[in-house]
């Protein structure tokens, strides 16, 4: 019976494997325990481990500790997967950073698979200053480029519209050398109407924002 421990977080999966060994031995304290590292893993050692029995208990817990560190040991484990799975002894295979092809070969034979991997989170996008600065400068081509760039990065049109309308209100409150007070108010109204029209019209908001950007004239 095979229990596979793998994943891209070696420290966590190693800890989980040894916790499992400890918990299993606590349930059956009289059972024997054999740990075989890659450099010691031979066909004879593996065959003996499969047949091993304790003095007071018929089963032996076997841990194959990172057998794929050695190519020959790893290939031996893959060759003997049917025998490992059929063994009455629990066989734990600890294989951090196991490759996908090897995982695919082992999984069908495993009674249970444990995984601990490092999750790479996509970094949160910060305030898009380039976008609002382009609007503040009344630079239509630059604003269009920033809209395209932000959409490709995964920003939703509604979020981009919110930023642009925030900038319009900021221009109204703080003033600008590029936008007159009346132009800033008109800009705010235009963006509100643009959002409303996109909800009632066939033109999606993303395209409406692009058209708006290309219509800007300094």
Q: Which CATH superfamily is domain 2-115 in?
A: P-loop containing nucleotide triphosphate hydrolases (3.40.50.300)
49-58, pLDDT tens digit by residue?
A: 888 765 555 6
Q: Please, which pLDDT band fits residue 195 given cuts at 50, 70 and 90?
A: confident
Contact 34, 24 (CB under 8 A): no
Q: Residue 122 pLDDT more than 70?
A: no
Q: How high is the pLDDT of residue 58?
A: 63
| Rounded CA separation 12/6 (Å) | 10
Q: How high is the pLDDT of residue 53?
A: 64
Q: Is 30 helix (H, G, I), strand (E, B) or coil?
A: coil
Contact 135, 143 (CB under 8 A): yes
Q: How high is the pLDDT of residue 25?
A: 85
Q: Residue 196 pLDDT more than 90?
A: no
Q: How high is the pLDDT of residue 50?
A: 83
- Annotate 38-81 with DSSP letters as a single string: GGG--HHHHHHHHH---SS-S-EEEEEE-GGGSHHHHHHHHHTH
Q: Residue 151 pLDDT more than 70?
A: yes
| Model pTM score | 0.58
Break the chain into its structural domains and give their ranges. Answer: 2-115, 129-215
């Amino acid at each position: 019976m095979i229990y596979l421990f793998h994943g891209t977080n070696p420290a966590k999966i190693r800890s989980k494997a040894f916790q499992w060994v400890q918990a299993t031995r606590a349930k059956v304290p009289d059972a024997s325990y054999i740990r075989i590292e890659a450099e010691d893993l031979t066909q004879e050692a593996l065959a003996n481990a499969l047949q091993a029995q304790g003095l007071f208990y018929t089963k032996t817990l076997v841990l194959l500790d990172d057998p794929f560190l050695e190519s020959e040991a790893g290939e031996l484990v893959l060759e003997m997967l049917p025998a490992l799975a059929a063994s009455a002894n629990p066989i734990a295979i600890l294989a951090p950073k196991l490759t996908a092809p090897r995982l695919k070969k082992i999984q069908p034979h495993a009674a249970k698979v444990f995984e601990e991997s490092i999750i790479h989170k996509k970094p949160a996008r910060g305030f898009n200053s380039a976008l609002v600065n382009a609007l503040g400068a009344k630079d239509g081509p630059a604003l269009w480029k920033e809209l395209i760039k932000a959409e490709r990065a995964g920003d939703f049109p509604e979020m981009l519209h919110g930023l642009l309308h925030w900038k319009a209100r900021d221009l109204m409150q703080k003033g600008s050398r590029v936008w007159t007070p009346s132009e800033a108010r008109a800009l705010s109204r235009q963006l509100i109407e643009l959002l409303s029209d996109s909800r009632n019209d066939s033109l999606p908001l993303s395209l409406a924002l692009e058209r708006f950007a290309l219509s800007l004239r300094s």
